[in-house]
Structure 1
Amino acid sequence: MIKDPIVEEIRKYRAEHAARYDNDLKRICEALRKQEKRSQKEFVHFGPKPMQSKQAVHTHEKDV
């Protein structure tokens, strides 16, 4: 696999950023939310997608 310097730089930054929050996803998300509020920019947040119900398929075999 060829190493891409841009990808390597992004991975390094991501690891350093996660380490600042002890690799705790909740802390990382909380910090990002605080940063969004401080920026006073408008952010779009999409809610969870509604689950689509799946109907079971029933097959009935008739006695021959």
Structure 2
Amino acid sequence: MRKYNALMSFYFHIPFPEQLPDEVWAEKMRQIEWLSTKGMLGVKVEKQAIQTTRVAQATQGGNK
């Protein structure tokens, strides 16, 4: 999840993404995933990391 926070800070210019509401954070995460799969970020987000993040969110009630 730290990787997503770092990507949000760098690409979306969000200074403290961990302070975003859970719904907004999850949407930004999905945007990063989409941009990554389209090759627009220059970095790849592995599918395993995506699945792990989603499972962690579900088990923690969306808490980052």
Give the shorter-chain TM-score range.
Answer: 0.3 to 0.5
Report the TM-score, using the length of structure 2 for normalisation: 0.35
More helix by share: 2
Larger RCO, structures 1/2 (Cα 8 Å, 6+ apart): 2
Q: Larger Cα Rg: Structure 1 or Structure 2?
A: 1
With the length of structure 1 as denominator, give the TM-score of the two structures.
Answer: 0.35
